[in-house]
Amino acid sequence: MFTFLFRRILTIFLTLVALATLTFFLMRIVPGGPFDSDKALPPEIKANVEEKFRLNLPVWQQYTEYMWGLAKLDFGPSYKYIGRTVNDIIGESLGVSIELGIYALIVALGIGLPLGIASAYKQNTWLDFSSMFLAVSGVSAPSYLVAALLIYIFCIRLDWLPPALWEDWRSAILPAVTLGIRPASLIARLTRASLLESIRADYIRTARAKGLAETVVVLKHALRNSLIPVLTLLGPLTAYVITGSFVVEYIFAIPGMGKHFINAVTNRDYPLIMGVTMVYGFLLVFCNLAVDVLYARVDPRIRLG
Amino acid sequence: MKFICLVLSFILLACSGRKDTLRFNLVSESLELDWNRVSESSSVILIDNVMEGLTSYADSLHSQSSGLLRPSPALAASWSISDGGKTYTFHLRENAEWSDGVKLRAQHFVDSWERLLSPKLRAETAYQLFDVFGAEEYNSGKISDFSKVGVKAIDDFTLEVKLKMPAPYFLHLLTTVNTFPIRKDLIEKYGSQWTKLDHYVTLGAYNIVDWSPGEKFELKANPKYYGNSPAINRVQLKIVQEPATALALFQSGELDILPRELPAAYRDYWSKLSGFHTGPKLSVSYLAFNVRRAPFNKKENRQIFARAIARDELAGFHGGAYVPLRSWIPPGLIAHNDLLGIIEMPDISLPFRSLRLRYSASDAWNLTFQTIQKRLRKNGTQLQLEPRDWRDYQSFLSRLAEKKSIRQEDIPNILHLGWVADFPDPHTFMNVFTSFSESNTTGWKSEKYDRLIHEAVSTENEARRIALYDEAQRILLEEEAVIVPLFYGNHQALIHERVKAGGLNALDRWYFKNLRLNY
C-alpha cells in the first residue's frame, strides 16, 4: 500500500511538472501578448509595462522564475486584474466552483441512481426504454444546449427560476441540473448495466429461492454489489463537475473559477492561465488517486502493491 | 398547485424591496480600481460614479437633437483660459470632501498627475496628459523634476495648467478617470493595498459598499457628496459576460440596463422592445491601404478600389451595430461632413490580379469580407482574406507601429482597422494619419496634411476649424484615398421602462446620479 502510494505521488508530481512546462511554453507560442491592445501604446510605455511583469527577460529565465514560484505555491500577479495575485483570484472563485460541483453531484446521484435501478428492475419495459433514452440524450446533449432549454422553459415560459446569477438557493438549481445531467446519465447507465449483471448471479438466485420479496432482493442484495463500479466512477465525476463547469459558469454568470479559464486565455493573462491549469490538473490527478485507493477499500479482491 | 403558489409568492416577495435599487449590467470583470491606471470600459463606468474630475458631462444621456457632448463643471466650479488657449486656471469647489472627511485640495490633482506621468508607475494611460507642457518628457525620463511640468497648485483651491500648445479638446480630457485627483497620503500608507475596499477613499456621488469578486459591486449614495444627492439611492453592478444570459436577465426583470452589444441571433426580438435605445458612438471602422508597395503606392489604384466597396449590403451582417459612412469624422462631432468621401460604383472593373486583406476575425466580419471578396471576384480581382485572432492581430499592428521585425512583404495590401474617440473632438480622428502618429499603419505621409491638422488644433474659431478639417478630409479620402471608411459604430442598449432616461452618451459614459427610477 505504501509503495503504491509513494509511486503514485511521485507520478503525480512528475505529471504536474510536465503539465506546467507544457502549458508555459504553449502559451508563449500562441501569437499576441497580454499588452497588445487596440490603441497602439507609445513604445516606451509598453517597454515599461513589460519590464514590470518581467516579460522582457529571455523565456527560459521567465520559466525558471515561474517554476521556482510554483514550488512555493506562489502563482504570481495577474496581468489583467492589476493589484491582485492569481492566488487571490483562485481563492475567491474555487469555493464557488466546488459548491456548484457538489450540487451537481447531488443532482447526478439523485437522478441517476433511481433511474438506473428502475430500468434494471423493469428491464425491457417502456420505463426502461424511456429512462435509457433520457440517459443517452443526457450524455449527448452539450451543456450550452441543456442550459438554453432549461432557461427557456423554467425562466421565460414558466417564470419560476432566475435565469442566471449566484444569489440564493433558487439561482443554484438550473446550473446544478445543467452540470449534473451528464454525470446523472452516466450513473444511470452504469447502475443499470451492473445491476442487471448482479441480478443474474448465483447468490441472487439463492435469495429468490429463499422466497424473499423481489424489492428486497434487488435493493438489498443485488444493488449493494453493483454499486462498486458506480462508486469508482464518482472520482472522475467529481473532477468533471468541478473542472468541467466553465461553460456552465459562463452561461449562468457564476463567479467560479471556470470563467477565468476562458477569459485568461483570451486576455493572454499568462500567470492566471497557469494557475487555473495547475489547480485543475491537481484536482484531476488527485481524484484519480482517491478512486484507486477507494477501489481497494470497497473491493477486497483488489490489492494494491 | 398550492406549492407552486407558495413558491410564486416567495418570488414576488423577493422582487419587492428593489424599488430604490438600479441593477446595471457590467460586461467585463477585469476591474481595476486604481483610477490613474484604468483603461477598460467596465472600470470606467464604476470610477465615473464613485469619483469625479475637474469636468464632467452634465447629462449622462445626451439629447439626440444637439448631438454634441460639452464638458461641464464638476470638481472645478469654474475656469478661465488665457495665453491663447495654452493656460487653464481652475477654481475648485470649496465644499468637496473625501469620504474620510478630508477636504479636496488642488494639490490632490497635482499628486495624481505626477503619479500618472511618473515613469515608475508605468501606467499605459499616461498618454492622456501628453498635451500638458513637459508631461511627455517627464514620462519618458527626459526630465526628472516634476516642478518643470505644467501643472501647479496656486493655492488650496486654484489649479493652473500650462499646455505645450492650444488643445481645444483639453476640457474633454479632464473628464477621463485617469486625471481624477488622488490621495497621495493614503497611497503611501497602504501601498498597492489602497484600492482594497477598507482603505478605498473617494468623493463621487456614490460609495462602494460591497464587492463580491466576479459577481457584483454594490454602490450607495455618498452622504458627503458636495452636489445634490442622487435620485437613485442604491446601484448594483452585476457582472454578466454572456450576451444571451444578460438578455434573459433583462427579460425576467433582474437587470434594468444592458449597456452593451446584444446577441445578434435575437435581434428581431430585442430591437422591437420599448426599452431598446440606439445612437451614434464615436468610432469608425475602415480599410487602410499599404501605400509602401504596389499596387497601392499609386493613388489612382487606391481611388478605384475605394469605389468598389458597397457599404449598404455589408451593414446587414452587423445587426445594427454599424452604419455606413463614407467620410472619416463620424456624426456626433463638429466637422462631420457626409458629402466627403469617394462615391461607390460597386460594379466597376478593377485592374488588380490579387490582393491581401487582414482583419481581426469574428462571424460578422468574416461574412462582411467574404461578401467583398465575392463581389471583387466578379470584377476580376482575387482578394485573399487573412482573418486573425484579436490579440495576434494587435501584436502584428504594434510591431508594425514600432517598425521592428517585420518584412515589407509581410504587410498585406489592406488592413481592416477601427478607431474609437479618446475625446469628442475631430482631432482624435484626424490625428491618426499625421506622419508622427503611432496609429498610422498606412505608411502615407503628407506635410500638407500635417500642417492642416496642426493649424486646426491650434485655432479656437469653430468655423475655421471645420473648414480646415474639410480640406484635410478631402485630401485623406478623395485626392489621396489613403483609407476607405466603412461604418461608424452605433451604441445599442436596453433600458427598462422603470428607468427614466434620454438617449445614449456617445462616449458610453454612464452617470447614475443623473438617472431616476419611475417605480
- pLDDT truncated to tens, each residue of chain B (519 aa)? 444 444 444 444 444 446 789 999 998 876 788 999 888 888 999 999 999 999 998 764 444 434 578 888 999 999 999 988 899 999 999 999 999 999 999 999 999 999 999 988 877 788 889 999 999 999 988 999 999 999 999 999 999 999 998 888 999 999 999 999 999 999 999 887 898 889 999 999 999 999 888 889 999 999 999 998 898 999 999 998 888 889 988 988 889 999 887 887 788 888 888 888 888 888 999 999 999 988 999 999 999 999 999 899 898 888 888 999 999 999 888 899 989 999 988 888 888 889 999 999 988 899 999 999 998 988 889 999 999 988 888 888 888 877 767 788 889 999 999 998 888 899 999 999 999 888 888 999 999 999 999 999 888 888 999 999 999 999 999 999 999 999 999 888 899 988 887 667 888 888 998 888 887
- Which chain A residues have a beta carbon less than 8 Å from that of B250? none
Asked if residue B374 lies in contact with residue B316, where contact means CB atoms within 8 angstroms, the answer is no
Q: Cα(B263)–Cα(B246) distance, rounded to whole angstroms? A: 9
User: Which one of B215, B282, B438 makes the best mutation probe of the A interface by having the most chain A beta carbons within 10 Å?
Assistant: B215
Closest C-alpha to B283, from B332, B212, B233: B332
Pairing of strands B151-155, B158-162: antiparallel
Asked if residue B249 lies in contact with residue B380, where contact means CB atoms within 8 angstroms, the answer is no
Specify the pLDDT at position B92: 96
Residue with cell 452516466: A186
Q: Which among B241, B252, B418 has the least Cβ separation from residue A253?
A: B241
Specify the pLDDT at position A72: 84
CA distance A46 to chain B (A): 7
CA distance A64 to chain B (A): 25
Residue with cell 446601484: B235
Q: Does A28 touch chain B (CB under 8 A)?
A: no
Q: Does A265 touch chain B (CB under 8 A)?
A: no
Closest C-alpha to A235, from A176, A298, A284: A284
Among all residues of chain B, which has the CA nearest to that of A254?
B215
User: Which one of A27, A30, A44 makes the best mutation probe of the B interface by having the most chain B beta carbons within 10 Å?
Assistant: A44
Q: Cα(B484)–Cα(B490) distance, rounded to whole angstroms? A: 18
CB proximity under 8 Å: A 63-92 to B: 80-83, 89, 92
Pairing of strands B234-239, B21-26: parallel
**Backbone torsions φ then ψ of A217, nearest 5 degrees:** -60, -50
Among all residues of chain A, which has the CA nearest to that of B15?
A162
Asked if residue A243 lies in contact with residue A252, where contact means CB atoms within 8 angstroms, the answer is no
pLDDT in tens, A241-251: 887 788 888 88
Asked if the Cβ–Cβ distance from B29 to A36 is below 8 Å, we say: no
- Which chain B residues have a beta carbon less than 8 Å from that of A267? 30
Q: Which among A44, A48, A164 has the least Cβ separation from residue B249?
A: A164
CA A293 to chain CA centroid, Å, is 19
Closest C-alpha to B53, from B36, B66, B28, B67: B36
Asked if the Cβ–Cβ distance from A162 to B238 is below 8 Å, we say: no
Reply yes or no on whether the pLDDT at A273 is more than 80. yes
Specify the pLDDT at position B200: 94
Closest C-alpha to A238, from A69, A55, A106: A106
User: Which one of A30, A48, A270 makes the best mutation probe of the B interface by having the most chain B beta carbons within 10 Å?
Assistant: A48
Asked if the Cβ–Cβ distance from A263 to B393 is below 8 Å, we say: no
Q: Which among B30, B122, B214 has the least Cβ separation from residue A255?
A: B214
Radius of gyration from C-alpha coordinates of chain B: 25
Asked if the Cβ–Cβ distance from A165 to B249 is below 8 Å, we say: yes
Asked if the Cβ–Cβ distance from B140 to A44 is below 8 Å, we say: yes
User: Grid coordinates representing B441?
Assistant: 499603419
Asked if the Cβ–Cβ distance from A40 to B123 is below 8 Å, we say: no
- Which chain B residues have a beta carbon less than 8 Å from that of A162? 249, 252, 254
Per DSSP, the three-state class of B428 is: helix
Q: How far apart are the first and last CA of chain A?
A: 5
Residue type, B202: T
CA distance A139 to chain B (A): 24
Q: Which among A32, A151, A256 has the least Cβ separation from residue B395?
A: A32
- Which chain B residues have a beta carbon less than 8 Å from that of A166? 215
CA distances from B291 to A187, A287, B11, B188, B254 (A): 64, 59, 63, 50, 52
CA distance A114 to chain B (A): 24
- Which chain A residues have a beta carbon less than 8 Å from that of B434? none
Low-confidence winner among A9-13, A23-27, A133-137, B58-62 (lowest mean pLDDT): B58-62
Packing angle between helix A86-121 and helix A270-298, nearest 10 degrees? Answer: 40
What is the number of alpha carbons within 13 Å of residue A147 lying toward its C-beta?
24
Q: Does A153 touch chain B (CB under 8 A)?
A: no
Pairing of strands B354-360, B382-388: parallel
CA distance A97 to chain B (A): 12
DSSP letter, residue B132: B
How many beta-carbon pairs under 8 angstroms link A with B?
A: 143
- Which chain A residues have a beta carbon less than 8 Å from that of B246? 253
Asked if residue B487 lies in contact with residue B351, where contact means CB atoms within 8 angstroms, the answer is no
Q: Which among A96, A155, A256 has the least Cβ separation from residue B248?
A: A155
CA distance B77 to chain A (A): 32
Q: Does A158 touch chain B (CB under 8 A)?
A: no
DSSP result, B363-378: HHHHHHHHHHHHHHHH
Specify the pLDDT at position B4: 45
Residue A82: partners with Cβ closer than 8 Å, 6 or more residues away: B32, B34, B37
Identify the helix (H) or strand (E) that includes residue B73: strand B71-73
Please provide the average confidence, as pLDDT, over all residues in chain A. 82
Provide mean pLDDT across the span A136-152.
85
User: Which one of B21, B30, B286 makes the best mutation probe of the A interface by having the most chain A beta carbons within 10 Å?
Assistant: B30
User: Which one of B391, B403, B415, B428 makes the best mutation probe of the A interface by having the most chain A beta carbons within 10 Å?
Assistant: B391
What is the number of alpha carbons within 13 Å of residue A139 lying toward its C-beta?
13
Asked if residue B516 lies in contact with residue B496, where contact means CB atoms within 8 angstroms, the answer is no
Residue type, A238: T
Q: Does A148 touch chain B (CB under 8 A)?
A: yes
Asked if the Cβ–Cβ distance from B393 to A32 is below 8 Å, we say: yes
Asked if residue B83 lies in contact with residue B167, where contact means CB atoms within 8 angstroms, the answer is no
Q: Does A53 touch chain B (CB under 8 A)?
A: no
- Which chain A residues have a beta carbon less than 8 Å from that of B391? 30-33, 36, 266, 268
pTM: 0.80
Specify the pLDDT at position B2: 41
Q: Does A35 touch chain B (CB under 8 A)?
A: yes
Instruction: Identify the bridge partners of residue B416 per DSSP, sorted by sequence position.
Output: B287
Asked if the Cβ–Cβ distance from A168 to B14 is below 8 Å, we say: yes
Specify the pLDDT at position B9: 43
For chain A, what is the HEC assignment?
Answer: CHHHHHHHHHHHHHHHHHHHHHHHHHHHHCCCCCCCCCCCCCHHHHHHHHHHCCCCCCHHHHHHHHHHHHHCCCCCECCCCCCCEHHHHHHHHHHHHHHHHHHHHHHHHHHHHHHHHHHHHCCCCHHHHHHHHHHHHHHHCCHHHHHHHHHHHHHHHCCCCCCCCCCCHHHHHHHHHHHHHHHHHHHHHHHHHHHHHHHCCHHHHHHHHCCCCHHHHHHHHHHHHHHHHHHHHHHHHHHHHHHCCHHHHHHCCCCCCHHHHHHHHHHCCHHHHHHHHHHHHHHHHHHHHHHHHHHHHHCCCCCCC
**Backbone torsions φ then ψ of B79, nearest 5 degrees:** -155, 165
Asked if the Cβ–Cβ distance from A42 to B33 is below 8 Å, we say: no
Q: Cα(B4)–Cα(A281) distance, rounded to whole angstroms? A: 43
DSSP result, B145-186: -GGGSSEEEEETTEEEEEBSS--TTHHHHTTSGGGS---HHH
Asked if the Cβ–Cβ distance from A31 to B239 is below 8 Å, we say: no
